[in-house]
Amino acid sequence: MLHLLHPPGSPPDLVPARTQVPAAPERRRARIVSLVGHRSVPSMDDDPVLELVIDLQAQVDRLRSIRSDIEAYYWDQPEGTEGFGGRRFQVSFWIAKVAQRIADLEHLMLARGETTVSIVGLGAGEHEAVESAGAVLDRWIHEDECFPDVQRVIGAVLAAADRIVLRAAGGVPRLPLETRGDT
């Protein structure tokens, strides 16, 4: 809202009292609104699983395959949809998001110095969710699939990759069998 202290072209001292801006209102305390959401809190019955091993290289390979499929899907979209909001633009955005997840996993492999990581202390539910995420990445995208279906698949792929990346970041390098002593 714009308040004029005086009408344009008139000196400030000639402005009638009723057109002057009233004093600033007193500051009100901000109201904090708590947004209710789902929190993942393990229940007492959720026994921790001893170990979950994630093969990061296998997940990278799966994501590269999906990125290849999306790149082929890009060229099957109608020409002239490259602009912001068009189908080709959206598909190119998906390609970039999948590439980002690939880079995240590769970064973890470089930082850990191993292609596999071990995660301990997960509850059975989270263990199953991470394993299911790996299964989501093991999928093909065909050029003839309809756009909304591919969009849903990409959403599921990105969510699955995020779950894997976030859990793998908390893992420790899994040493090869010959150096672990597990024979």
Q: What is the pTM of this model?
A: 0.68
Q: Which two tokens stand for residue 51?
A: 């170990």
Parallel, antiparallel or unpaired: strands 116-119 and 52-55: antiparallel
| Ordered per-residue pLDDT tens for the chain, 183 residues | 444 444 555 555 554 555 555 555 555 554 544 444 334 444 445 566 568 899 999 999 999 999 999 999 999 988 877 777 789 999 999 999 999 999 999 999 999 889 999 988 888 888 899 989 989 999 899 888 999 999 999 999 999 999 999 999 988 887 655 555 554
DSSP codes, 91-145: HHHHHHHHHHHHHHHHHHHHHHTSSEEEE-SEEHHHHHHHHHHHHHTS----TTS
42, 105, 109 from 171: Cα distances, Å: 19, 12, 11
Look at the block and give the residue holding tokens 């969710």. 129
- Choose among 161, 182, 26: nearest CA to 103: 161
